[in-house]
Structure 1
Amino acid sequence: MLVSYEWLSEYVDLEGISPEDIAEELNRTGIEVEVIYTRDAGVSRVVVGKVLQCIPHPEADRLNVCSVHVGLAVPLQIVCGAKNVAAGQLVPVALEGATLPGDIKIKRTKLRGVESNGMICSAKELGLPDKVLMKEQQEGILVLGKDARIGQDIKQYLGMNDQAIELQLTPNRSDCLSMFGVAYEISAIFNRELRLPEVEVEESPEQLMPLSISLQNEEDCPIYAAQVIHDLRIGPSPQWMQNRLITAGIRPINNIVDITNYVMVETGQPLHAFDYEQVRGGQIVVRRAVEGEQLVTLDGVTRTLDDETLIITDGQEILGLAGIMGGESSEVKPVTTTILLESAYFDPHKIRSSSRKLGVRSEANHRFERGVNPERVQPALARAVQLLRELAYGEVASEVVVAGLEEVEDIEVTLRHDRLTTVMGIELEEAEVLSIFERLQFPVTVEEGVYRVKAPVRRPDINIEVDLIEEVARLYGYDRIPTSLPWGQQQPGGRTEWQENRRTIRHTLRDLGLNEVITYSLTSESLEGEITYPLTVPHIPIPIAMPMSNEHAILRTNLLPQLVQVAAHNRNHGVPDISIYELSKVYLASDVNQHTLPEERFQLAFLLTGDYHPSSWIQAPQKGGDFFTAKGLLTALLERLCITGMEYEAISIDGFHPGRTALLKYDKHVIGVLGQLHPSLSKKYDLDDTVVCQLDLENLLQLSSKDDLIYQPIPRYPGITRDLALIIDESLPVSQIEAGIRAVTGELLKKVTLFDVFTGEQIGTGKKSIAFNLVYRSDDRTLTDEEVQSVHDGAVAFLVDTFKAKLR
């Protein structure tokens, strides 16, 4: 909303109040001011002049030599190249020494041998943008109206001394989409008297022209008023009106259109004028369109309507889109002498919906969709009729016909004084609160500490008690309310155990060199089927009712397929070494009819391919696509989460390498899967060896034993190491051997490390050689070799008897 300072001063005494003061106070009271514009773009010494004579230049075909009277004793001789210059015109003249926008200086000069003492200016040369000029003013020199006075400062005549205050209004403050609404606000803020213009109500004409209104859906259009005006003379509107419209950002068209726009900006009530000759029988029918009906709007576009679009018709033909834009067929033309003037209240939701569907934006629908003041419907119509009689010489040709509600009542909102002081945090006198409501022009009574306030219809944002508290606070001044700390019992914030564990996972994987990725929760059935995840609960893919594409048609039940896509995307963009993870939700449904919501479970998945550690001059590269590299990362994560006892069980499932995949189990419950992608899948996505892991995070974190974590001091006594090399069946898991060693050796064994695995002909078919390093230590004494050897020999004997192992 652009607010003209000069226009606003008609309604509120602004003596001693600058536009900057207004902007500061509006910002303090909750209405943001974006910027203050000055229409003067740097013009000085430009006055109104009259072209007395215009003759062709003797030495140039495209130039004219003009004699221009500017109020001086002798007319000025000015050479002008504009095609539209002619004798008798009133034009802007830049005198010698004048300044124009762009820091252009006007000097006395000679053009083709003829002296020129100034310049006749165009609108562009005065800094007036095309968007606020009539088409005939956009080319050639600017021809002024007959009301311009010779010698008058052009800035005064064109209103260039005015300033526009641009407001950034929130949707709840639709009342300030008008000069009246802003005047109410300024009057309340500065406690100045409000003086709105009086409107004369016209007496009934002797001869009435037919006019009737029918509302088919009153919920769409609760109020519709109209009146017929005839004997109109269409022409330019007076310069003062054009100036105000230009300051408001609206282009002047003609006196009829300009008056409707002027009243809209002034009162906030949009109006529309129909050519009465195009309204059959003077009948107005407001209804919803029939699906597929079409209308050519004022912008020349043919628009197809649906059955939710509200339209204005004459019972047969469509005249316009209600509250949005008129139709081309009923447009007011230069030959129009009689109009039907419309003023109405339309349902904001209906206007907003239709505007978006049709892609039409206008000043009218901008106001209608936020809600206009229904009390202004008839006064705005009367105000426009008054201006039409004054500026277009029209006469009323019908009574004011109103359909729908005749009156709209204010709503009553109560405010408790003790609640007001509690929320504001200060003590206010009752008289001061009453004074604020009086400045806002809210009728109020008070009894036993309770204010009963009549919220005016012009303020639709006032509905409940806190709205009134806000009004009192902002008019009192937020800056006058002292700062204080909140009172009450304080509860220190903190993270839940679940949040801490997720934080630990992210930090650990980041420290291990993995990057977090976030993928869509939507995927496709074909992608989901590429990799099987051994879930512990039955699940059914959940389709989306209206998917945007086939690639995003179902909710995912597995994170791995999309991680593979991310890896392929990076590989195709020149990033071969990839270490990524995702911690997010999957959606599991067991009801094929989807009568219940799916279970949302957090999963953790990671993927390694390419080099995990690149090569350097001191070390060879470490492959990320190796099963044991991924197992090492997983082991480090489990240790950080204080999870021990995880078991690995070989498995063959779709999408994984048949010999390099393991289920992660704890106490016979499946926690996740770790393995290398099947070579065919790696080839499909053009990836090197790729290893992936996915864990059911909720089940995994239940195993965390952080509460039982006990820190141990650095050992005081030395340890004794022993190496143990065994030959066992190739199918026997190493973890069973390690568990047997620990079970026999007891507390003296502090560490078991597998440092060698070997298979070959020397060992025998179906056999493998494994070697452990064992560290023995006591917490309270130095062990002897005899003690250690005795325990060690017991472990060897147990392994030989239990697993048929052979000592190497």
Structure 2
Amino acid sequence: MKVSVNWLRDYVDLQLPVNELAEQISRTSVEIEGQYQPQGKMKKIVIAKVLSVVPHPDSDHLVITQIDAGQAEPIQIVTGAPNVATGQTVILAKHGAVIGNGVKIKKGKLRGEVSNGMLCALQEIGMDDAIVPQPLEDGIWVFDEEDAKALTPGEDALHVLGLDDYILETGITPNRADMLSMNGTAYEVAAMLDQPVKMPTFTLNEAQALTQDTLTVKADARMAATYAARVIQKVRVKNSPLWLQRRLWNMGIKPVNNVIDAVNYTLLTYGEALHAYDLQSLPAAELHVQMASGDETLVTEDGVSRTAHPGDLLVMSGQEPVMFAGIMGTAKTQVTKATQDVVLEAGIFEAKTVRRTARDQNLHTESSQRLERGVDVDQTLVALDYAAALIAELGQGQVLQDAVVAQVQKLDLPVVTLHLSRLQAVLGSEITTQEVAHIFEQLQFDFEQQGDAFVVTIPSRRWDISIEADLVEEIARIYGYDRLPATLPVGATTPGKLNAKQQLIRASRHVLEGLGLNQAMSYVLTTPEKAQNFKIQLDQAGEPIQLAYPMSQDRQQTRSSLLTGLLDDVAYNVARKQNDVALYEQGRVFSVQPGAVQPIEKEHLAGVMTGAWQTRNWSQTAQDVDFYTVKGLVEQLLTNYNFVDAVRFMATNQRLEMHPGQTADIYVGETLIGMVGQIHPITAKAYKVGKVFGFELDLQAIMDLPKVMDQYEAISRYPAISRDLAILVDTAVTAETLRQALVKAGGKYLKQIDIFDVYTGEHVPGGKKSLAYTLTFVNREQTLTDEIVNTAMDRIETVLRDEFAAEIR
């Protein structure tokens, strides 16, 4: 929320500099996200009066004006403003002035006529289009006649417009919704500075006629805990006075007219959601609140036609909806310059329904923001009366007697007991009874002392306080966190260490980073289509978790794989000309079993690579990533786990999102732990990327598998014997299948199998391929003899001939 420091001075006597005020609020209450002065570095911008306007002799759209800027002689200004006229009070940027965006104004000539400055629109002195009452195309800003009477030519326009104010942007946390109003902020600042606070006062003058004779209202208490309305008749709708417009645009709200501005001003003052209707535009002389059926269509004040969803909360007049309750009304019933009688509505609508409707309709307003978080139930009718009195004053209207009320929420103020001994124990401070009592007085909390206990009645504006711990926090922050002593916890200390799961996860990260991959962190939520992709277990029974109220279409379900998020990251980088990408992510995937209450969470590890793996330089050419690059990384990672059972890569064409000829399932023994391969070209095209290779591992399955403890193995003192073996087999036989056969037949002395050649083509029959291996035998106990190796080679050749019809070459 934006907080005007000048407005805050109406409540509290602020003597300290704005920087110190912001720093104290940050330390005591809520974060200050920013502070600024709207005028920035602008200067030499003054109030001026137009003395005369004559056509430019050499232009059909320019005029020459003589301007009284408080100097001895008038200033000549040439302008193209379509609305300039004699007698107006305007804004003048003099020669040498600096206006919005640092633009400097200098004396010059326009079509041969001297111009000594510029007449300004509000946008030209740095004000945002979103908060300026008048479009730039309409010309310069002209002060209303009533406002102009109090202005003097030559007066500082930045001061008159309130641009010399300081604005604090507060980051309101959900538990401090009371600070979404100037009243609530003032209570907080007064307590912080230990000063009295002056709340706004008003007098409501009512006519003899009764409101109930003009309007009726009704609402179910489950939909609107409080619901009431007033009628103000014979209102003159016009522009608001400058003081009101100034406060609104400094708080980020666009002035519209005196009725709507009074409603918005009351919202900012009290934090209560009000709405004004044109009585003559209502379909019936009654208002009631009801749930939408889903067939209702409303053209809201922003000009957008919206269809209500079932369960949305609507304000109806007769059979016609006139408002999304607590959010925005219809264009048909809004107050305009033609309005004569105003219906002013106040309500506390069910917070969850307002939040859902605002999200579903993408219609977040100042009112919905407050109703979603909670408002002061004791001030709703006070705010209604305040706004009615202000509208009557600004528009010379008559407030009909008594509000019509459907119901008013009854609130029993909570009473919380705080024990001094407990407070001292929690804060570690010898804070005294007198200090605690004084802090409650600063906060304006009513309390009674009963021994060392304080029985505190919590005011309705502070609905975030309900237990003793809340009061401890209130005392601590007002007392000052910096005044609390620093103490170490008492008790036995234990050294911290990583458990087995944490050790494995951290070691996995170190390995992948050592191999050249960078860590990524992707969104846990994704689309329903992506949530079904890249599952390790294709027959997995669980389904992704659907969010009841997703924030966007791209974040509806929990992920079942990390690869979907990593592919988003690759696409993001490739779109920005970063074509060589190597990323990994360690995180959780989620699923829910049919009928289960709690979802299943599993730790996964995944990686993606695209582009060049080895970049080009003076001594080597670039080397693009391929299947074997990624497979080699995975093999190194799995080697570090020291599984008891062997790791196997089994080719598969069953994964629809992966390339059918370059994908393998990864097994340890008979346990499927992951997959590795190329992302299917169709899938990659959907992400707008080229060739991408990736892997995903089930870390939970890996952690559950038996492993060999790390141990040192001495280098053999006895020489190894190597034999080369070349065979001719059918192309359908995979190298992995042959490797397993070689391991089984080779015996206990076969320690290493290296494939160094794969060949098809000339001199090789069709449907065949030639494979060449180097087999290494080692006996760590004694010298290995040729007879033992020859016997092993004979067994290997026999198995190859019998099981694979291999030809030994």
Deviations 1:157-196 (A, max 9, x none): 3333332222222232221122211111111111111111
Of the structure 1 ranges 287-296 and 731-740, higher mean CA displacement relative to structure 2 is found in 731-740
Q: 2:438 aligns with which of 435, 438, 443?
A: 435
The one of 182, 191, 195 equivalent to 1:192 is 195
**Alignment partner of 2:145: what SS?**
coil
Aligned AA for 1:454? Answer: T
Shift of residue 428 of structure 1?
A: 0.8
CA deviation string 1:140-160 (max 9, x = no partner): 352443333343614343333
Residues in 2 aligned to 1:631 and 1:96: alpha-carbon distance in whole angstroms: 72
Structure 2 counterparts to residues 663-674 of structure 1, below 5 A: none
Per-residue deviation at 1:352? 1.6
Counterpart-to-counterpart distance in 1, 2:727 and 2:4: 95
Correspondence 1:142 to 2:142: yes
CA drift at 1:218: 1.1
Q: Is the 8 A contact 2:229 2:403 kept in 1?
A: yes
Q: Residue by residue, what CA displacement relative to the aligned partner does 1:644-683 show, whole Å, maximum 9, x if unpaired?
A: 674989999989999x9999786xx667799999xxx9xx
Aligned to 2:153: 151
Match of 1:231 in 2: 234
Structure 2 match to 1:369: 372
**Does 2:479 correspond to 1:476?**
yes
Structure 2 counterparts to residues 683-698 of structure 1, below 5 A: none
Q: Is the partner of 1:200 in helix, strand or coil? A: coil
Q: 1:388 to 1:727 in 2, by over 3 A?
A: closer
Map of 1:20 onto structure 2: 19
Q: Contact conserved, 1:611 with 1:625, CA < 8 A, in 2?
A: no
For residue 764 of structure 1, what is the aligned residue in structure 2? none
Does residue 315 of the first structure (1) align with residue 318 of the second (2)? yes
Match of 1:765 in 2: none
Cα separation, 1, equivalents of 2:718 and 2:460: 89
Q: Distance in 1 between matches of 2:694 and 2:284?
A: 78
User: Cα 1:691–1:224, aligned 2, differ >3 Å: closer, same or farther?
Assistant: closer
CA 1:412–1:710 in structure 2 vs 1: closer, same or farther (change >3 Å)? Answer: same
What's the counterpart of residue 689 of structure 2? none
Query: Would the aligned equivalents of 1:228 and 1:341 in 2 still touch at CA under 8 Å?
Result: yes
Q: Aligned with 1:287: secondary structure?
A: strand
Q: Deviations over 1:107-152 (max 9, x none)?
A: 5x77777776766544445444443332278513524433333436
Pairing of 1:531-546 with structure 2 (within 5 A): 539=539, 541-542=541-542
- How big is the shift at 1:229? 1.7
Decide which moves more: 511-520 or 698-707. 511-520
Q: Which moved more, 1:455-464 or 1:119-128?
A: 119-128
Closer, same or farther in 2 for the Cα pair 1:706/1:157, shift >3 Å?
same
CA contact (8 A) 1:5 1:162 kept: yes
Structure 1: unaligned runs, 5 residues or longer: 744-748, 762-767
Q: What's the offset of the Cα at 1:380? A: 1.4
- 1:733-759 C-alpha deviation (Å, 9 max, x unpaired): 99899889977xxxxx89788999999
Q: Secondary structure at the match of 1:226?
A: strand
Q: Alpha-carbon deviation of 1:432?
A: 0.8
Report the CA distance shift for 1:750/1:421 in structure 2 as closer, same or farther (over 3 A). Answer: farther
Q: Which runs of 5+ in 2 are unaligned?
A: 687-691, 765-770, 800-809
- Distance between the aligned counterparts of 1:438 and 1:87, measured in 2? 57
RMSD across aligned positions (CA): 6.0
**Partner in structure 1 of residue 76 of structure 2:** 78
- State the AA in 1 paired with 2:19: E
CA 1:380 to 1:515, structure 2 compared with 1: closer, same or farther past 3 Å? closer
Report the alpha carbon displacement of residue 638 of structure 1 after superposing the two structures with TM: 6.7
- Alignment partners' CA distance in 2, 1:314 and 1:423: 55
The answer to whether the 8 A contact 1:543-1:553 is kept is no
Deviations 1:70-125 (A, max 9, x none): 566x6626344333333333334556776655463565x77777776766544445
2:280 to 277, 280, 295: 277
* Amino acid paired to 2:227: Y
* Cα offset, 1:800, TM superposition: 8.9
Q: 1:380 to 1:600 in 2, by over 3 A?
A: closer
Amino acid in structure 2 at the alignment position of 1:78 = Q
What is the identity percentage for the equivalent residue pairs of Structure 1 and Structure 2?
30
**What's 1:420 paired with?**
423
Aligned to 2:412: 409
Distance 1:496 1:379, change over 3 A: same
Deviates more, 1:121-130 or 1:192-201: 121-130
Q: Distance in 2 between matches of 1:692 and 1:40?
A: 54
**Alignment pair present for 1:132 and 2:131:** yes
**1:393 corresponds to which of 387, 393, 396:** 396
Asked which structure has the greater CA Rg, the reply is 1
| Secondary structure at 2:185 match in 1 | helix
For 1:162 and 1:568, the matched residues in 2 are separated by 46
Could you tell me which residue of structure 2 aligns to residue 246 of structure 1?
A: 249
Q: Which residue of 1 aligns with 2:37?
A: 38
- 3-state DSSP of counterpart to 1:306: coil
Aligned to 2:805: none
Name the CA distance, whole Å, in 1 between partners of 2:335 and 2:226: 23
Question: SS where residue 228 of structure 2 aligns?
Answer: strand
The answer to whether the 8 A contact 1:581-1:607 is kept is yes
Inter-CA distance 773–608: structure 2 relative to 1 (3 Å threshold): farther
Q: Tell me, what secondary structure is at the counterpart of 1:172?
A: helix
Does residue 168 of structure 2 align to residue 165 of structure 1? yes
1:174-193 alignment to 2 at 5 Å?
174-193=177-196
- Tell me the distance in 2 between the aligned counterparts of 1:395 and 1:570: 64
Does the CA-based 8 Å contact 1:224-1:344 persist in structure 2? yes
In structure 1, what residue type is equivalent to 2:74?
L
Matches within 5 A, 1:447-462: 447-462=450-465
Aligned equivalent of 1:257: 260
Change (3 A) 1:797 1:420: same
**Does structure 2 conserve the Cα–Cα contact (< 8 Å) formed by 1:286 and 1:312?**
yes
- How many residues get paired? 766
Conservation of the 8 A alpha-carbon contact between 1:737 and 1:799? no
Query: How much has 1:439 moved relative to structure 2?
Result: 0.6
Report the 3-state secondary structure (helix = DSSP H, G, I; strand = E; otherwise coil) of the residue aligned with 2:175. Answer: coil
CA distance in 2, matches of 1:362, 1:397: 29
Alignment of 1:60-79 (within 5 A): 62-66=61-65, 68-69=67-68, 76=74, 78-79=76-77
TM-score (norm 1): 0.74
Q: Spell out, residue by residue over 1:319-355, the C-alpha distance to the aligned partner (whole angstroms, 9 max, x if none).
A: 3222112222222232322222222222222222111
Note the C-alpha offset of 1:210.
1.6
Q: Which residue of 1 aligns with 2:7?
A: 7
* Distance (whole Å) between structure 1 residues aligned to residue 649 and residue 246 of structure 2: 85
SS of match in other structure, 1:262: helix
Q: Deviations over 1:602-635 (max 9, x none)?
A: 78899999999999999999999999x9999888
1-side partners of 2:7 and 2:315: how far apart?
33
Q: Cα deviation per residue 1:35-77 (whole Å; 9 max; x = unaligned)?
A: 33323355555554444444445665545455555566x6626
Q: Distance in 1 between matches of 2:607 and 2:245?
A: 68
Contact 2:296 2:321 in 1 (8 A): no
Letter in 1 for 2:20: D
1:371-770 equivalence runs, <5 A: 371-405=374-408, 407-504=410-507, 507=510, 539=539, 541-542=541-542, 640-643=640-643, 646=646, 704=706, 706-707=708-709, 709-711=710-712, 719=718
